[in-house]
Structure 1
Amino acid sequence: TLIDSCEKGFIEDAVWSPDSRWIAYSFKNSSETTNIRLASSDGKTKLDVTSYGGIDYCPSFDPNGSYLYYISRRSLDPVYDKILFDLGYPTAARVNVVSLRKNLNSPANMVPESYAGKADEKTRFNIDADNIGNRIETMPMEMADYEKIFSDGSSVFYLEFPPEGAMKYYLYSSSKRSSGTLKAYDIKTGKTRVVASGISDFSFSGDMKKILIDSGGKYRITPSTTTSMGFSPLPGMPGAPEDISIDVQRIRFQVDLKSEWSEMFREAWKLMNENYWNPEKVKKEWKKVYDMYHPLLEGISTRSELSDLIKEANGELGTSHAYEMGGDITDIRISRVGKLGIQVRFSGNGFELNKIFRGDQSNPEERNPLLFFGLDLEGSTITSIDNEMINSKEPLGKHMLGKGGYFVNVNFSAKGKGHSVTVKAMEDDRRTLYRDWVEANRSYVHRKTGGKVGYVHIPDMGPMGFGEFHRLFIQEYRKDGLIVDVRWNGGGHVSQLILEKLRREILGYDFPRRGDPDHYPAYSVNGPIVALTNEMAGSDGDIFSHSFKLMKLGPLLGTRTWGGVVGINPKITLVDGTTVTQPQFAFWFKDVGWGVENYGTDPDIEVENGPSDYMNHRDVQLDRTIDEVNRIIKEKGKIIPELPERN
């Protein structure tokens, strides 16, 4: 039986009523909004509980069938950003409740018993549809980021998360959000208690006496009951209920690899069949691809061959972002090489330290531990690590194997003097190297332009790239011109947010008594903007590069971009943890239509860094971009040439 369908997006959060005759769910009524809908299990009746225009989700019936709870983002009380002049809504959720029958007191209001009357416990579950939206009330919890609710009849349990950075959860990250707090609001007393903290999710048992707690993939069972004091102490506190930990590592089962691989191939094919952006193309070609590749399953004998098979099948669609990655490829444990954030070459009796890469020492993921001691170590020689002498037959990495995140003792020799330092080796030094490269480029641009031109690099169009853009942009936008470098941009989805700022044209100034005048609109550049791209700028990096030209923000220099603009939502994994993606969101431009996919976008001025340029540490592309922005400044000058005198 078809209960309901949605053309705007997904139907989510479906739950059954206590008598199993109704289903409540979140219905996507536009690209941006959702409402709560009820539908009878026979599909004959559908009822919108909440109006359109908000974001309503996670409905939950109380066990008596009298109320329907849900979370709503409609009360918009913006929060000022701490870095930029901007506002957002990190805590926009409220818990609401709707009385399903007329003449019921709302659990949102503690009506005195003398007024409340007696509830008829024998009343059969029923929904009074007339004016149901008028019976919505807001529960007395503060606005926050709520993700899930459940009622056991006497209390409302809700999962609350604090505002967090997005970088560690972005895209293919395996990190699971585990900073939530499960709270319970007692309907009778109006008191709130903390049930558990540091959690990701929760589920109730059928009798509602136990709660399964998920804490970042670690599971435990805890009682849901309230103590006589009106709250349950946290685990470890006196009087706390005894939790039962579940060790999922103890689960053992036998896997028929051939059967598992066959199921994984079919599942990958099915997901593409259901999610690929062009249904007509899939309908025409995808069954033929299955018939072509499925027989080859009989011939594979390793997990990596299955990966090859899925990738080859996906490749028949000729579309970007059709990935297969991860999974149960090997059980070999990787031992990572510890990093010191240095560049070395072997010389005589050790490794000569040519360069110490400098990150921002205030950022823990960038700081170089060797800089802490204030020693001039560049040009010195590393002679031993943890008392292991260096020789020409072993790379430096061998001495640092498995030492990432651990303390190591490093001995240096310089001009007959020795130094011994003990530092905590980095597990990953890419952020340190990246910061060093960006700051070197920025200093180079400042030096070549007499401080008149700013430089910003955007590594991707995700949370990291958004942060990197603003980190530099707020320092550089006041200059006479700006270079925006998107070479090697890994894509994402925030290009439009960045372009929105770059397209602001200065209209005037806001003069304070003290300090520099502020540009109006805020962060508008008072001069030309030039963008630099290359063949490794892809996905949203493609979109940024092409949009920069379309919006006529300035000339685009470099080389033709990557050419992949059919986006993905990589949230589905196969049975062994393999991530498979389906190109779901195809990008169309008003000038070239679908033409950026599988081609990229051409720069206005083509400049290429050749192999000899890389070898000799020359950045011809950046030099040409500096020349171009200097030329425009010389020809056109600032938008507003000089600051006015105060009257």
Structure 2
Amino acid sequence: RLAAGRLGRVLELAMAPDGSRAAVASHDGRLLLVERESGEVREVDRSDNGDVSGLVFSPDSGWLAWSHPGPRPLSQLRLANTTDLSVTEATPLRFQDYAPAFTLDGKHLAFLSHRSFDPVYDEHVFDLAFVESSRPYLITLAATTPSPFGPQRHGRAFEVSDKEETPDSEGAPATRIDLDGLADRIVPFPVEAARYSGLRAARDGVLWLRHPVTGVLGAARATPDDPDPKTELERYDLAQQRLEHLAADADHFEVSGDGKRVLLWTDGKLKVVPSDRRASNDEDSDSNITVDLGRVRQTVDPAAEWRQMYEETGRIMRDHFWRPDMGGVDWDGVLDRYRPVLARLATHDDLMDLLWEVHGELGTSHAYVTPYGGFGNGPRQGLLGADLSRHEDGNWRIDRVLPSETSDPDARSPLAAPGVAVRAGD
């Protein structure tokens, strides 16, 4: 075990391509580098405004990039040299910059940012809103590297030194970064502003998820039973200068180390597909593989799991509570008082009830316990939307049919539907 007890609670971990070190984002805002051979832990940076995220190494493992939070909702990209740990601000703290990724040739740093300010008029009230404000951007790391979207793309190329084009001893392309004027070399991808997440570098391009704009109530769907619009997996081909749609239903994805394959969670299935063309919905092939999760077997000791979950809940609340003194509550005493109940738990639901009781001792809001998988929607109870009364003759009479609300598809009595012709008194 490396660095046991020195990392805090690990929120995110990234391994350098050469395997020499790992970057760790800790729960207390620290960004750490852990050396694989020696176990040495070095602090790269620290945040007082939340957790650092989006840890990613350059292809030659010489640089580390991440999203560093500022006062909400701002965040910026930072770069660190993994040798001397010098830190540089890659983007100014003016926007929400996130999801950095070095292109596989080591020449660019791509990222997502909320910096598109084109408001949309509201149709009900006289107001404006920024509905789709994010866009992918790219930083040319060397001052002599042209923008892949600029006029030099098909004109006379800049002259580059042999050193820049020479791979290192491990075969990975060397990443050269000219820190002066770095933020001035930010250029947008030629795609429309939307809602993006999960940017990753792949072979000859960059992948990301594009999310649809949906209402919070679901009333805008064609029918109440229709599913929500799906998130799409898109790819921008830097060589061909074009946007491609790889999957119409993508929940999560990760790119393989060589950038050639994508592990894709789509429509309840885990698939391995190529990173440079649309995923096929047909039968499996050499290039399109569905992972059979039914073959996975795991031995679980529920009682041991519940004990671990109880103790970890206590640590998380202690480390993240909004007051250092836990609101005057003896938190260790609370955990000790409820701990004997663990021996009497019979189901996972019992554990959830126990954790609710423990949280309740703090007497504060925003302290939740959410079971695995969430609460779900479950079957809904249908109602007639009418007042009924039973008469002496044993028959039921309709006293009133509630009026329908045409703006809400779910607020309609089935007795008021066209063709039913039911009236009060029937």
C-alpha contact (below 8 Å) 2:144/2:158 kept by paired residues: no
Structure with higher Rg: it is: 1
Corresponding pairs, count: 364
Residue among 305, 308, 326 paired with 1:263: 308
C-alpha contact (below 8 Å) 1:222/1:243 kept by paired residues: yes
Question: Is the counterpart of residue 115 in structure 1 residue 157 in structure 2?
Answer: yes
Partner of 1:286: 331
Partner of 2:241: 190
Over 3 Å counting, the alpha-carbon distance change for 1:99 and 1:334 in structure 2 is closer
Amino acid at match of 1:203: E
C-alpha contact (below 8 Å) 2:232/2:249 kept by paired residues: yes
Partner of 2:20: none
Partner of 1:29: 70
Question: Is the counterpart of residue 67 in structure 1 residue 113 in structure 2?
Answer: no
SS of the aligned residue for 1:221 comes to strand
Partner of 1:50: 91
Question: Is the counterpart of residue 342 in structure 1 residue 386 in structure 2?
Answer: yes
Residue among 189, 192, 199 paired with 1:142: 192
Cα deviation, residue 135, structure 1: 1.9
Tell me the distance in 1 between the aligned counterparts of 2:397 and 2:298: 52
Over 3 Å counting, the alpha-carbon distance change for 1:153 and 1:308 in structure 2 is closer
Q: Where in structure 2 are the equivalents of 1:480-559 lying within 5 Å? A: none
Cα deviation, residue 334, structure 1: 6.9
Cα deviation, residue 76, structure 1: 1.1
TM superposition score normalised by structure 1: 0.51
Tell me the distance in 2 between the aligned counterparts of 1:79 and 1:241: 46
Amino acid at match of 1:185: Y
Question: Is the counterpart of residue 210 in structure 1 residue 261 in structure 2?
Answer: yes
Q: Where in structure 2 are the equivalents of 1:80-229 lying within 5 Å? A: 80-109=121-150, 111-112=153-154, 114-117=156-159, 120-122=164-166, 124-167=174-217, 179-215=230-266, 217-225=268-276
Cα deviation, residue 152, structure 1: 2.2
Tell me the distance in 2 between the aligned counterparts of 1:313 and 1:117: 66
Tell me the distance in 2 between the aligned counterparts of 1:200 and 1:334: 21
Tell me the distance in 1 between the aligned counterparts of 2:374 and 2:207: 40
Tell me the distance in 1 between the aligned counterparts of 2:244 and 2:286: 14
Over 3 Å counting, the alpha-carbon distance change for 1:367 and 1:243 in structure 2 is farther
Over 3 Å counting, the alpha-carbon distance change for 1:202 and 1:184 in structure 2 is same
Q: Which has the higher strand share?
A: 2
Tell me the distance in 2 between the aligned counterparts of 1:81 and 1:241: 49
C-alpha contact (below 8 Å) 2:203/2:258 kept by paired residues: no
Partner of 1:353: 398
C-alpha contact (below 8 Å) 1:178/1:215 kept by paired residues: no
Over 3 Å counting, the alpha-carbon distance change for 1:183 and 1:271 in structure 2 is same
C-alpha contact (below 8 Å) 2:61/2:82 kept by paired residues: yes
C-alpha contact (below 8 Å) 1:181/1:197 kept by paired residues: yes
Tell me the distance in 1 between the aligned counterparts of 2:69 and 2:378: 43
C-alpha contact (below 8 Å) 1:178/1:216 kept by paired residues: no
C-alpha contact (below 8 Å) 2:201/2:259 kept by paired residues: no
SS of the aligned residue for 2:157 comes to helix
Tell me the distance in 2 between the aligned counterparts of 1:244 and 1:309: 42
Over 3 Å counting, the alpha-carbon distance change for 1:200 and 1:128 in structure 2 is same
Tell me the distance in 1 between the aligned counterparts of 2:101 and 2:71: 22
Over 3 Å counting, the alpha-carbon distance change for 1:346 and 1:271 in structure 2 is farther
Q: Which has the higher helix share?
A: 1
What are the superposed Cα offsets for residues 544-579 of structure 1, whole Å, 9 maximum, x if unpaired?
A: xxxxxxxxxxxxxxxxxxxxxxxxxxxxxxxxxxxx
Amino acid at match of 2:234: K
Cα deviation, residue 15, structure 1: 1.8
Q: Which residues of structure 2 form unaligned runs of 5+?
A: 1-41, 168-173, 219-226
Tell me the distance in 1 between the aligned counterparts of 2:80 and 2:124: 45
Over 3 Å counting, the alpha-carbon distance change for 1:327 and 1:199 in structure 2 is closer
Amino acid at match of 1:74: R
Superposition CA RMSD, Å:
3.2
Over 3 Å counting, the alpha-carbon distance change for 1:308 and 1:177 in structure 2 is same
Tell me the distance in 2 between the aligned counterparts of 1:188 and 1:111: 10
- Does 31-40 or 353-362 show the bigger shift? 353-362
C-alpha contact (below 8 Å) 1:94/1:139 kept by paired residues: yes
Cα deviation, residue 117, structure 1: 4.7
Tell me the distance in 1 between the aligned counterparts of 2:367 and 2:67: 29
Identity fraction in percent:
29
SS of the aligned residue for 2:305 comes to helix
Cα deviation, residue 196, structure 1: 1.2
Question: Is the counterpart of residue 378 in structure 1 residue 420 in structure 2?
Answer: no
Amino acid at match of 1:51: P
C-alpha contact (below 8 Å) 1:233/1:241 kept by paired residues: no
Tell me the distance in 1 between the aligned counterparts of 2:373 and 2:126: 46
Tell me the distance in 2 between the aligned counterparts of 1:18 and 1:199: 26
Amino acid at match of 1:143: A
Tell me the distance in 2 between the aligned counterparts of 1:248 and 1:298: 32
Amino acid at match of 2:354: L
Over 3 Å counting, the alpha-carbon distance change for 1:57 and 1:216 in structure 2 is farther
Cα deviation, residue 321, structure 1: 3.5
Cα deviation, residue 41, structure 1: 4.1
What are the superposed Cα offsets for residues 246-294 of structure 1, whole Å, 9 maximum, x if unpaired?
A: 4545644332110121122122222212221112327973223223322
C-alpha contact (below 8 Å) 2:149/2:241 kept by paired residues: no
Tell me the distance in 2 between the aligned counterparts of 1:211 and 1:291: 47
Residue among 272, 276, 289 paired with 1:244: 289
